[in-house]
Amino acid sequence: MSETPARPDAALRARAEIDLAALRANVRALRERAPGAALMAVVKADAYGHGAIPCARAAVEAGATWLGTATPQEALALRSAAAGLPDDVRIMCWLWTPGGPWREAVEARLDVSVSAPWALTEVVEAARAAGVPARVQLKADTGLGRNGCQPGADWDELVAAALRAEAEGLLRVTGLWSHFARADEPGHPSIAAQLTRFREMTAQAERQGLRPEVRHIANSPATLTLPDTHFDLVRPGIAMYGVSPSPEIGTPADFGLRPVMTLAASLALVKQVPGGHGVSYGHHYTTPGETTLGLVPLGYADGIPRHASSTGPVLVDGKWRTVAGRIAMDQFVVDLGGDRPGPGAEAVLFGPGDRGEPTAEDWAQAAGTIAYEIVTRIGSRVPRVYVNE
């Protein structure tokens, strides 16, 4: 019978340890992959669940000169004095809806993305009211079929309208940009097709008279594997957090990256039960014989995917265990096979993997999803504990 000592921070039910030295090293590794380009650290969705402000600071320390978010609210929070970021760091946000905080964004010197005439009209009105020119980046849909302006007449008209506003001193077009659909599928023909279209659309805008500071299209997989896509700036997200965009293109270690988040909990209970004992809601697991059960105090309300019921891996006492039965809202059970770790013993759901623990990718496979979703959904009830600040 083994006894795992409780960790000094075992008083925490659970914690997501965020290794900022790993994040800084990942940013440096990504910069080495794209030496001719600036790096925009994508810190949307609370830095993919890792904590936007500490991660933004660490990324800037490691040489990121731009930060990227989806919503304007995320970007404004980064620009606030409380974030403590250098004043000259560029902050871009790209997911706008009508009536958004354009004036605050203009006053906060954010780079705002525009994909359609309605957005250009709103940002121009805000710039006029603020008496400050807006920084605008025009987004081209080069084939993703999501946000962005369609090529052809729509693009020509958007560029022409931006040029008119630029001539009036109401905005400056700082960037032309786009996003890939399948950069994580090596050799997929859509990659070359999007790249050709991006070149055509930027060239067309430049012929019309725009002089953007930056043209950019590369997300993590493109930054890691497609040097032709780097242009003036790369926009990695997931790779910065040490997670591979797809196991198809390689492991984090293949790219010199190290996972930043370790998710662990303190066992809330270890108990002996007889064989034939049903476990958790629906009794989808029944003990095959007399055994011990460990209670992990994390559940789907903390972002542990319920789809990983009966499949998710956990390291307890040096051994991989599997979720026994259903993951509930706040807790799940592992069969410890007769081992009796002490109360408060550590259960590691995922981390870098070098202590033998599973990785976020292992949980993604167990839940039938992608590792992006695993790290991003870890809930606010789980404290983030920053190490190596």
In one letter, which amino acid is 108?
A: A
CB of 235 to ligand PLP, least distance (A): 4
- Count of all residues that appear for the chain in the document: 389
Q: Should residue 143 be labelled a site residue for ligand PLP when binding is judged by CB under 6 A?
A: no
CB of 221 to ligand PLP, least distance (A): 6
Catalytic residue among 44, 285, 300, 372: 44
Helix (H, G, I), strand (E, B) or coil at 71: coil
Name which of residues 219 to 248 contact ligand PLP (CB under 6 A).
219-220, 235-239, 245
Nearer CB in complex with ligand PLP: 6/95: 95
Q: Should residue 57 be labelled a site residue for ligand PLP when binding is judged by CB under 6 A?
A: no
Catalytic residue among 139, 281, 300, 386: 281
Spatial CA neighbour of 267 closest among 322, 344, 342, 337: 344
Helix (H, G, I), strand (E, B) or coil at 228: helix
> If binding means CB under 6 A, how many residues of this protein chain bind ligand PLP?
11
Q: Which of 26, 39, 76, 94 binds ligand PLP (CB under 6 A)?
A: 94
Q: Is 139 exposed, middle or buried (0-12, 13-18, 19+ CB in 10 A)?
A: buried
Q: Should residue 128 be labelled a site residue for ligand PLP when binding is judged by CB under 6 A?
A: no
Q: What is the DSSP letter of 83?
A: G
Q: Which residue has the tokens 């109360």?
A: 343
**Residue 329, annotated ligand binder?**
yes
Name which of residues 148 to 187 contact ligand PLP (CB under 6 A).
179
Ramachandran bin of 63, using left for φ above 0, alpha for ψ from -120 to 50, beta for the remaining angles: left
Partners of 101 in the β-ladder = none
Q: Which of 29, 42, 119, 370 binds ligand PLP (CB under 6 A)?
A: 42
d(CA 295, CA 310): 14
Nearer CB in complex with ligand PLP: 103/139: 139
Spatial CA neighbour of 41 closest among 213, 187, 220, 215: 220
CB of 77 to ligand PLP, least distance (A): 18
State the greatest distance between any 2 C-alpha atoms of the chain, in Å, as a whole number.
79
Partners of 149 in the β-ladder = 140
Q: Should residue 352 be labelled a site residue for ligand PLP when binding is judged by CB under 6 A?
A: no
In one letter, which amino acid is 146?
A: R
Spatial CA neighbour of 218 closest among 180, 248, 261: 180
**Residue 340, annotated ligand binder?**
no
Q: Should residue 31 be labelled a site residue for ligand PLP when binding is judged by CB under 6 A?
A: no
Which ranges of 34-145 would DSSP assign to H, the alpha helix? 44-49, 52-61, 72-79, 102-107, 117-130
Q: Should residue 142 be labelled a site residue for ligand PLP when binding is judged by CB under 6 A?
A: no
Residue number with the smallest Cβ distance to ligand PLP: 237
CB of 294 to ligand PLP, least distance (A): 34
Nearer CB in complex with ligand PLP: 136/296: 136
Q: Is 44 a catalytic residue?
A: yes
CB of 388 to ligand PLP, least distance (A): 22
Which chain residues interact with ligand PLP by CB under 6 A?
42, 94, 179, 219-220, 235-239, 245
Annotated binding site: 146, 329
Please give the positions annotated as active site: 44, 281
